[in-house]
Amino acid sequence: MLLQIPGLLTPEQVAHFRSRLDSSGWVDGNVTSGHQSAKAKYNEQIPEESPLARELGETILIALSKNPLFMSAALPKQVFPPLFNRYREGMTFGSHVDAAMRGHKPTAVRIRTDISATLFLSPPSEYDGGELLVEDTYGVQRVKLEAGSLVLYPATSLHRVEPITRGARVASFFWIQSMVREDAQRALLFDLDMAIVRLSSERPDDPTLVSLTGVYHNLLRMWGTP
């Protein structure tokens, strides 16, 4: 399931992020690459041990915890501390699949990567190219969102970032270990949860709500691990 979540960060938060990031020290993005990714990756990152990365990452984690769409879609068990990257003119990240396990040395966090996430921090008007291309059941999905918006997609997906031909693309990226490991099961639970939300809004006294809510929680009980 590929899901876009608009406006995870406010315009004021995005402006604050950019003011701090644009004046920070960037390093070769391969500091966090595995063997295969290093062959395809050409970008820059804020070091994962940077106090700035920790500070801004905490803001993102708080925003995620308050976003009902994210909580419903990801069913997060643990979120990897957010990292930050920048693609300038000529930079790209070729086709790759994210590593199945990720470790964060500064915090000793280690997770299974079920879901990949990209939070855009540059508006599309600031750069040409830089689209995130994700291959799924329905073909290749092209993603280029407004600053402050998030996209979630299965970490098992083959994906890439198109070369930048003008400007710079700044983003945060991270992974989620979900309580429900399988993407197809998460997608079914998300669809069911959204149907319950709509029915609750349109027909709050409908007795079907109790039955549907029970089905949702029993499926989560069957498929989930706390």
Output the known binding site: 96, 98, 159, 169
**38 three-state secondary structure:** helix
**158 three-state secondary structure:** coil
The token pair that represents 72 in the structure block: 């419903």
Binding-site members for Fe cation are 96, 98, 159
Q: What is the DSSP string of 61-130?
A: HHHHHT-HHHHHHH-EEEEPPPEEEEE-TT-EEEEE---SEEEETTTTEEEE--EEEEEE-S-GGGEEE-
Binding-site members for 2-oxoglutarate are 169
Interatomic CA distance for residues 9 and 201, integer angstroms: 25
CB atoms within 10 A of CB 133: 16
